[in-house]
Amino acid sequence: MSSTITDPDAALKGALRAHESRTGAKVEVRLVVAIALVSAAALAWQLLLMRWLAIAHWHPFAVMIISLALLGHGASGTWLSLWLRDERRARLERHFDAAFAWCAVLFAASAAATLVLARVIPFNGLELVWNPRQLLWLGALYLTLSVPFFFAAACFGLAFARHGTRIPALYGADLLGAAIGAIAALAASLMPVQHGLLMAALCGPIVAWMVARERAVRAAAVVIALALLALWPTQALAPRANEFKGLSKALLLPGAHVIAEGTDPYGSFTLVESPLVPLRHAPGLSLGHADEPPAQLAVFTDGDAMSPIVHDDGRAGWQWLEAMTSALPYRVRTPDTVLVLGAGGGMEVLQALSLGARHVDAVEQSDRRLRWARDDFAAYSGQVLRDRRVRTFVAEPRAFVRASKDSYDLIVLAGGESFASGGAGVQSATEQYALTVEAMGEYLARLTPDGILVATRWSKQPPRDELKLFATAVAALRGDGVADPARNVAAIRNWDASTWLLARSALPPNAVTALLRFADEHGFDVVHAPGWRTRAQDRFHQLDPPTLFDGVQALLSDGTRDYIRAYRFDIEPARDDRPYFAHFFRWRSLPELLRLRAQGSAVLLDSGYLLLVAALVQAIVLALALVLLPLRALPRPRTSATSSPARVRVGLYFLALGLAFLLVEIAMLSRLTLLLGHPWLAANVGLAAMLLCAGLGSLAAQRWLERPDVDDAVLAHRIRWAVRAIVLGLAWQFVVFAAAHAIAAAWPVPLRALLGFVGIAPLAFAMGMPFPLGLARLARCAPAWVPWAWGLNGCASVVAAILALLLAIAIGLRATLVVALALYVFAAWVWRERQASGLAIRDANA
């Protein structure tokens, strides 16, 4: 039963409604544009904030940003439920323009202020495992960054509350604005991230000026706009790279300075020169090599993952390139054709040319990074990428391999993580589709019959990613029909790095002899060679215990599964369904690792994974504190005892919807990363598709509600229909994505993004229906419980954004989607039409 509100200003409200009916078109157009701008600004801010945090920190903050954005929206909905009661609702009708404009101004002001605060909050994810205070700083960062989303959501809520009859038009503007915001964020990736964020924030004062009539509000909008513009030429909002990142460390060298900066959708790039103390990057360089490598320029991506541009003045010697573990494939078998995946600054290309390759194809994902090495600083590098033997390609490496028809004698997996980030496990929640079993299989298919695949990794103790890489390679060989993978693999190690060879056919005896000779000349240890077993006393670099050597033999034996299960770290081969190559954490090892912290072993506690767990706990606490518990201030509806089971079923319905929607969304973003080649591009396309199409589904549900024959049974039937559509939509998504991988690998990124959109659209459209249909059912039989249903759904969404990634890491993306589907089916089952009559709730104000 709906409640009635006594309004002392009924005459004024009647006059306002009459005025609105006469000038509705004008108000609607102005408000529609304002809503679209706020929506575009909020989504662009959300996407660019991911970029900002990727530079400031190592960690994959995408799911955390989605979660805190939902926290801001949920808290805003709760605040409006509490504030818009009794006379305040009547006051909103009189002062809507001012309230809406102030929220837009506060969105802009809080956006800039929260970035300033985020720069000074001393959060460091690397310290999370040994410094408990970092949990507090993580909570402070999470809560601070949610504030702008609170005010953006308040704009939407105020508009929906004031102009209830125009919700479809306003909601449509919200959806259109979200799509525009995703495109705008993609365009803004070509400029420094702080400038893109400022442009998004400037939409707030623009909206306030459009909507407000009061001079005070317009004056405030002008002041905020001028303050934001004054920040443009400064570095006040620029991300400050973590002190342990490679860029921060390089700039500590005397005389080191930045000589170039650039951005594109694949990252923010910084080029550093150090003339007084030259930079020299040579992973796996033999300790027996006495000469210094040439000076280098360092290319940093998002403040880390250095890639060098090697100086060539015509007098440099290249013997150092032969004294690295990565030179092994050129000594085993001199290749004619080489494919370098992840060319970066070109050092791997230089090594291939210096060691005898006749033709090199260099693939680089970032056009900006490639132009620095090939064009802008070509004179510094001796024109290495302009050599007539070299062809350069701008493409996502795995997509290039899928699309290529050429075969290569050698494929080099270049690039990779920095030593610091790899050692601390900060990338444990990042998708790395280039290092999965399926990716290895695709690389093998592009090799000539005697071809070799090679990868060099940093050495860590105890070994983790080296064993995981080897396990993944062995699984790929076995999947390719190789009965005895031991004959097709080889590996050597230095004190700091190791190089791993994966051959399409068995390595012949002369190749093994060449490997042993090369290792002996340069003081490298043989980890594995076909038919060879190194004695412990013959190794140059002693390890106690020799876990790497023993692990390799175990992974080649019949007891592979038992060894992987028993190992202290997760070295299960990475697959496309579980592409988290850098995830090594096992809960059963936690007590032992915690005991070893005092001995300097805190780095073994993968901070990236533990950060997600900490963020999940804090999301639960903050969602309860800011979204659900404040609703207790609402008048408590009086209920009969017989209605309690029905209330539980309704609560479970909205809880399941909130969990299921975000589980699907996060899993879809991860799957879309494989199609588009980069998680940030996937976030742009995926969020735009999900928000736009789910919103259209909600509008379609709204049209059903306007029919005169709609009752509870009809609504329950529509919900079941929507759940069936979700099942079909997910099947459609699998088909489209599989077809896209098979036939569209060589297509330009915009066309692949369009395919991704087409694959997601039907699923998202169906997912947009159960929530508004459920709210409509609840509003008919128990309107006083609508805010609680909204709060339950909001809490579940805040938590599920982080929970989804943890589930994907644990059980895989497909299983996560199955869990989401089960939740949708459970929601349709738990609140069936015959239970609606049990929800006899009377409003306390009735």
- Residue 81's contacts (CB-CB under 8 Å, 6 or more residues apart) are 631, 634, 787, 790
705: its two tokens: 């509600």
Instruction: Please give the residue that has the higher pLDDT: either 355 or 21.
Output: 355
545 preceded by cis ω (within 30°)?
Answer: yes
pLDDT of residue 645: 60
Tokens 């929601």 correspond to 827
Residue 41: how many other CB atoms lie within 10 Å: 30
3-class DSSP state of 263: strand
Q: How far apart are CA 257 and CA 276, in angstroms?
A: 11
pLDDT in tens, 138-157: 899 999 999 999 999 999 88
Q: Give me the chain's average pLDDT, please.
A: 85
Q: Predicted confidence band at 840 (pLDDT cuts at 50, 70, 90)?
A: very low
pLDDT of residue 713: 81
pLDDT of residue 374: 94
Q: Which residues of 464-490 are buried (b: 16+ CB within 10 A; e: fewer)?
A: bbbbbbbbbbbbbbeeeebeebbbbbb
Q: What are phi and psi of 832, to 5 degrees?
A: -85, 165
First to last CA, the chain: 8
pLDDT in tens, 159-181: 887 776 676 677 778 888 888 99
> Of the candidates 804, 795, 823, 769, which has an alpha carbon nearest to the alpha carbon of residue 668?
804
In 232-270, where does DSSP find H-type helix? 246-250
Over residues 281-309, mean pLDDT: 91
The sign one gets for the Cα dihedral 485, 486, 492, 496 is: positive
Q: How far apart are CA 464 and CA 606, in angstroms?
A: 11
What DSSP letter does each residue of 442-506 carry, written as one string?
Answer: HHHHTEEEEEEEEEEEE--SS--HHHHHHHHHHHHHHHTT-S-GGGTEEEEE-SSEEEEEEESSP
pLDDT at 542 over 90: no
Q: How far apart are CA 144 and CA 68, in angstroms?
A: 9
> Of the candidates 47, 31, 32, 46, which has an alpha carbon nearest to the alpha carbon of residue 96?
31
pLDDT at 464 over 60: yes
pLDDT in tens, 90-116: 677 778 889 999 999 999 999 999 999
How large a percentage of the chain has pLDDT more than 90? 50
pLDDT in tens, 4-19: 323 333 333 343 344 4
In 4-132, where does DSSP find H-type helix? 10-56, 62-83, 87-120
pLDDT in tens, 169-224: 777 788 888 889 988 998 998 899 999 999 999 999 999 999 988 889 999 999 99
pLDDT in tens, 744-768: 877 888 889 999 999 999 999 999 8
Over residues 299-306, mean pLDDT: 90
Over residues 411-430, mean pLDDT: 66
> Of the candidates 92, 99, 105, which has an alpha carbon nearest to the alpha carbon of residue 209?
105
pLDDT at 423 over 50: no
Tally DSSP H helices, then E strands, for the chain.
28, 14
